Amino acid sequence: MSERTKFLLIAAVFLAAYFIPLQDPRTQSAIADMFLMLQDYARKHVLFCLVPAFFIAGAIAVFISQASVIKYFGPKAKKILAYGVASISGTILAVCSCTVLPLFAGIYTRGAGLGPATAFLYSGPAINVLAIVLTARVLGWQMGLARAVGAVVFAIVVGLLMALIFHREEVERAAETEAAFAGVGEDEERPLLQTASFVGLMVLILIFAAWARPTEESGLWWEVYRIHWHIVVPLLIVLAVMLRRWFNRSETQDWLDSTWGFTLQIMPLLFAGVLAAGFLLGMPGTDHGIIPNSWIAKLVGGNSLGANFFASIVGTFMYFATLTEVPILQSLLGSGMGKGPALALLLAGPALSLPNMLVIRSIMGTKKTVVFVSLVVVMATVTGVIYGAIVR
């Protein structure tokens, strides 16, 4: 950290301490919710969502060959295969916008093309099957269908546009990757099936360990929730057996080191972003943030371009834990929110958040992050306007 950065940090803390009206009740509630949200995030998402995701990212970085990643997801890979797999990946990953980050970092740093990588980054949390089913049941089948179709289309279009906009940089990046791994074949000491089984098993552990409690205590989702730990424990035992038989001590240590590296890169920024989101907007479902919910409800009524744009912006910065966006939107719709802005928020919100954007910037830079976020906001806004005009 440079001396200038240290000075700016000290100055920022001083100015905040000097000018923040700590006696104001709303300020006090916003500060309280800031830490309540961090606690809620730590309790619900770190152990059973982020930790498995970090281990998966570490395994991708260490055990999956660079040649394989480049072959299926690199800039020169077949677009139908690369974007097809990336755009529907969220159907098996019940993760939020933050949990998907280690997985995105894993494939991107291994040489995946910007287009397929960002398609995966968007689709991971956006095409959550549980969330889409819940959306259809609570908010209506039209909203559920629009969210499902919109999310898949968004992932493909955003990925293609990112690849097009940064085509020159991607060509240079691909050339550097090829030069760095020139002469390295695709043959691996371990069969690809073993590596795929190992990573796939960890994905299953992530899915069932993070299985959210359904709102209704009946049906398939509730039955799976009741036994999800009975599923996870045997999977962990199988994983331990695989690790002991297939990997030597050096490989295991490399995996742990890679996992720890992703943790150090991502966790501090996530925590900072969650604190900021809690202060600005409060805990989901409350009106304790520094920005009153009434302001938001007034700004997203009807189906104007401004209402849809504002809903997209709010969704972009607000943090949604998996499935929490549905009851929040149910409340906002009851307060007069238009259906178009509701869909715009659904398409922008779960896939992005302030913590999410901070980490994305550290992985692929400021310019690419700004373009990625802007594409999501613009597409969500336009889609919301169209949907609001059709469904009244």
Q: What residues pair up with 301 in beta bridges, in sequence order? A: 337
Is 368 within a domain? yes
DSSP 8-state class, residue 301: B
Residue 94 maps to a domain: yes
**Has residue 295 been placed in a domain?**
yes
Residue 23, in any domain of the structure: no
Find how far residue 389's CA is from the centre of its chain: 29
User: What pLDDT is stored for residue 91 in this prediction?
Assistant: 59
In a domain, 13, yes or no: no
- Domain containing 204: what range? 30-175+186-390
Which letter, b or e, does each residue of 223-246 get, where b requires 16 or more Cβ atoms within 10 Å of its Cβ?
eebeebeebbeebeeebeeeeeee
pLDDT at 239: 92
Answer yes or no: are the C-beta atoms of 128 and 90 closer than 8 Å: yes
End-to-end C-alpha distance for the chain, whole angstroms = 53
Q: Is the pLDDT of residue 62 over 50?
A: yes
Report yes or no on whether pTM surpasses 0.75.
no
Which pLDDT belongs to residue 194? Answer: 84
- Report whether pLDDT(357) > 70: yes
pLDDT digits (tens, 9 = 90+) for 157-189: 998 999 899 988 877 777 766 665 554 444 455
Is there a domain that residue 9 lies in?
A: no
The per-residue DSSP string of 309-331 comes to: HHHHHHHHHS---TTTHHHHHHH
Please state at what angle helix 25-41 crosses helix 249-281, rounded to 10 degrees: 160
Name the more confident of 65 and 25: 25
Amino acid at 275: L
Helix 100-109 vs helix 354-364: crossing angle, to nearest 10:
10
- Flag whether 90 is in a domain: yes
Number of domains in the chain: 1
Read off the pLDDT of each residue in 327-356 and give the average, rounded to a whole number.
Answer: 80
Answer yes or no: is pLDDT of 126 > 80: no
pLDDT mean over 368-374: 93
48 with 228: CB under 8 angstroms? no
pLDDT reported for residue 380: 93
**Residue pLDDT, tens place only, 139-162:** 788 888 888 888 888 888 998 999
Q: Taking the CB of residue 20, how many other CB atoms lie within 10 A of it? A: 13
Residue 355 lies in a domain: yes
- Buried b / exposed e over 92-123, threshold 16 CB at 10 Å, is bbbbbbbbbbbbbbbbbbbbbbbbbbbbbbbb
Q: What is the pLDDT of residue 212?
A: 74
